[in-house]
Amino acid sequence: MSPVQTLSPYRYPGGKTWLIPYIRLWLRSRLTRPCEFIEPFAGGGSVGLMVANEKLADRVTLVEIDEAVASVWRVVINGEDDVGLLTDKISTFVMTEQSVELELSRSATSLNDFAFQTILRNRISRGGILAKGAGRLRKGENGKGLTSRWYPETLCYRIRRIVELRDRITFIHGDGIEIIRKFLTRQNFAFLMDPPYTAGSNGAGSRLYTHAILDHDTLFTLAEQIRGDFLMTYDNDQMIHELASGHNLHLTEIAMKNTHHHQKTELMIGKDLSWLHGNQNPE
């Protein structure tokens, strides 16, 4: 299978780039290509961007409630401000402790400003965390400190590539639950739901995201009613096993390596996971 081409400008905590080979399998196993692929909890959006890039669905909709995360998508996907100014800012920014301090201490005066500050914060914070209290990279990779994750050319390349995909992608700054509710009855829609999760034993979501509280029972109740297709991913937690069985959904455990290369298992939940049989480790 082809390697994963990263298109997101974000390093996203809990990002799902590792899931991409599974998403390809899932969407290609279907008899018809979905007319719409929706990510109601988009975050860094790496899966939806891949789906658009590889035309695995006619259209893609990303939804995100966090206004900082959304600011980047509003400029890059929706064109609500001049994306050229954003890439200019990224390519000309000279990163020092002082310039970062100055940039992040001033109030954003435009959507572009807000988007730039968000990308900057994302690239210099530990683990890409944008929630309050996130620490900054100190040593970074190879002792390069703050600049260790700042690749202006790559960021601008990715942003320009997303701009080329604009006619296939829509971004909605809003509540993913409401969007699921709105499109529940659409037959040929496919949803990838990767919600923040705080109820588990380590409650990691509350540290990673500004918006980490979600009514998971409501999400499962809606998922059960989806007429099209969906896939949900969660941390491996007993409560999620119980919710899935209580809502008559299929569940399987998937082994993956997290960003620290630790082996862990995640849960995949769907209506029908038969496409996964014999394909537990797609490349």
Ligand X SMILES: C[S@@+](CC[C@H](N)C(=O)[O-])C[C@H]1O[C@@H](n2cnc3c(N)ncnc32)[C@H](O)[C@@H]1O
Pairing of strands 263-270, 250-257: antiparallel
Site string for ligand X, 119-158 (x = CB under 6 A): ----------------------------------------
Number of chain residues interacting with ligand X (CB under 6 A): 24
Is residue 46 near ligand X by the rule CB under 6 A?
A: yes
Is residue 235 near ligand X by the rule CB under 6 A?
A: no
Give the residue, chosen from 214, 223, 240, 249, that forms a contact with ligand X under the rule CB under 6 A: 214
Residues ≥6 apart with Cβ < 8 Å to 121? 68, 104, 130, 134
265, 254 contact by CB (below 8 A): yes
Is residue 48 near ligand X by the rule CB under 6 A?
A: no
Binding part of the chain for ligand X, among 91-99, 115-123, 151-159, 169-177 by CB under 6 A, reads 169-177
Pairing of strands 169-173, 263-270: unpaired
Site string for ligand X, 170-209 (x = CB under 6 A): -----xxx----------------xxx------------x
Which tokens sit at 237? 């937690």
48, 193 contact by CB (below 8 A): no
- Secondary structure percentages of the chain, helix, strand, coil, to 5: 45, 15, 40
Provide the 3-class DSSP secondary structure of residue 63.
Answer: strand
Give the residue, chosen from 7, 9, 15, 60, that forms a contact with ligand X under the rule CB under 6 A: 15
Residues found near ligand X in the complex (CB under 6 A): 12, 14-16, 40-41, 43-44, 46-47, 63-66, 69, 175-177, 194-196, 209, 211, 214
